[in-house]
Amino acid sequence: MTLDDAVLRARAFVRAAIAAAPGFGAGHGPLGHHVTLSAEAIAGL
């Protein structure tokens, strides 16, 4: 994978993890670390 593709996937993962965050006080941190990017989300990058 190229560096550009890796960066795009990493940014998409972080955005999805923030969107899936359990909220402060309801988990281990401010991110939903168990989020999985769908094939459609990856293809849309």
Residue-wise pLDDT for 10-35, tens only, equals 888 888 888 877 766 666 667 766 77
Domain tally, the chain: 1
> Tokens standing for 40?
């459609």
The pLDDT of residue 13: 84
Q: Distance between CA atoms of 37 and 44, rounded to whole angstroms? A: 11
> Does residue 39 carry a pLDDT above 90?
no
Residue with the bigger pLDDT between 42 and 1: it is 1
Residue 19 is part of which domain span? Answer: 3-43
> Does residue 2 carry a pLDDT above 80?
yes
- The gap from C-alpha 24 to its chain's centroid, in whole angstroms, comes to 18
User: What's the angle, vertex CA 45, arms to CA 10 and CA 15, rounded to 5?
Assistant: 40
Q: How far is CA 36 from CA 12, 19, 25, in A?
A: 10, 12, 22
Pair 32, 19: CB distance under 8 Å:
yes
